[in-house]
Chain A
């Protein structure tokens, strides 16, 4: 599936949830059921530090594609990182770098994109793109 197909799938999941709390329930459930990282990977190097919650993200590069892992110590930030991992994992660095993450706005999470938000999605997205950029640069060196 392409990045946009995955985004559309998530938008569809949220489409029928009118109430804010139902949307948050969906995010919390994703956060709680998301894959757990190895404790050895939850190190300062992999940490995207917000003011109040911690988010760890790692990435690996296999056969031209980037695979992410992410977890948070809070369920809400955790749910957000799970969605980002779902959407961006398994894509090429170029696809990731050229993607437009419109799902954020469409599911009503735009407020989480604010740079002043204590745990901005922005920082997570930025870090994930940086990984992609680094893999791309390495690839081009070869």
Chain B
């Protein structure tokens, strides 16, 4: 069953916007997705009708808000097929989730000289927290490289793994190259050596059916805003045994069991990792977004985005001077490109004037740019509400820019 894109588009009010008098073509979905009315309304409804601090209140509103927040946790658990809600920790997003693991897991499980393996195509969010760990603990960062097509050189993993490897942290889908990485295979290999794996699911969660138990991931992290949910809410999935084994990340309310000035005991999972008032408005709106995606069907969304990607690549390859960055056989719904010697900033500026929103620059993955010897790319990333007609508008925009820059 295909998608009824026209009907989906009606659910996203911002898509009706005109930019410089032209219809908005929103191709910056890998940065953040637009929100359907139901999510926006859920946020308002939370503040209008269901706002009270959760977990501690005995009054009606507090209990109602608590139930909604915990129902959202169950909703997330179901969405990624985690074994239990104790394994679902709400964070501010992917970045905070990785920092949590780098801090709680890293500080407790790593000693000087121990090693963390990341891939060469990671977002800075999955590099810098490990470098901070390196500064604190004297760990080493090892890098699994990719080839000229943007495919991870998996055969090198064996030689990178040593008896000092403590964790492998890897993106499920690259935000720059679009490559879908074989994380299941990587996890299987890592587990042969008893090494846990953290998967950065920021780009995969809106495009791929994620089953953390099938993947056997030890940690899986993602952001709500990339899957049509609100900003400021994200998820850390962690296997219970890991979350039990590692210490709290931040201290404060909510995460404690008993506090005296002599000693504090910590609350049980998942609350141990949720210090302070949680974003219960965000969590409930995220649940609404996940319901919206469920209703349309993640497989349908994936199929639609793959069709858009193939259409875009076929059409765009006819443009003189077109160079795609990232040619892996398995890719998510984004295309990174350069045209002749036109600087991505110049291309992005002209496309913007035509109402087309794309991302330009290094996409917070500078090592990827260094590998290709470029400063940046133009990136068009697709979502369920995008259409082939919009890709035609992008095509015309690129051609227009090409002429303007005399290419």
Residues of A within 8 A of B (CB): 20-21, 24-25, 28, 32, 51-53, 73-77, 118-119
Contact = CB atoms under 8 A, between A and B. Distances in A.
19 contacts: A20-B353, A21-B350, A28-B404, A28-B405, A32-B405, A32-B406, A51-B361, A52-B343, A52-B344, A52-B360, A52-B376, A53-B343, A74-B343, A74-B345, A75-B343, A75-B346, A75-B405, A76-B346, A118-B345
A47 to B, nearest CB: 14
B400 interface: yes
Contacts, number: 43
Contacts of B354: 21
B346 A25 contact: no
Interface residues of B, number: 18
Interface of B: 20, 342-346, 349-350, 353-354, 360-361, 375-376, 400, 404-406
Contacts of A24: 349-350, 353, 404
B376 to A, nearest CB: 6
Interface on chain A toward B: helix, strand, loop, or mixed SS? helix
Given A28-B405, A52-B360, 16 more contacts: A20-B20, A20-B353, A21-B350, A21-B404, A24-B349, A24-B404, A28-B346, A28-B404, A52-B344, A73-B343, A74-B345, A74-B346, A75-B346, A76-B346, A77-B345, A118-B345
Contacts of B349: 24, 76
Nearest to B362: A52
Interface on chain B toward A: helix, strand, loop, or mixed SS? mixed
Contacts of B376: 52
A30 to B, nearest CB: 13
B353 A52 contact: no
A21 B20 CA distance: 11
Contacts of A76: 345-346, 349
- The residue among B353, B376, B404 with the most chain A CB atoms within 10 A of its own CB is B404
Contacts of B406: 32
Nearest to B349: A76
A21 B400 contact: yes
Contacts of B345: 52-53, 74, 76-77, 118-119
A21 B353 contact: yes
Contacts of B344: 52
- The residue among A28, A32, A52, A118 with the most chain B CB atoms within 10 A of its own CB is A52
B361 A25 contact: no
Contacts of A118: 345, 361
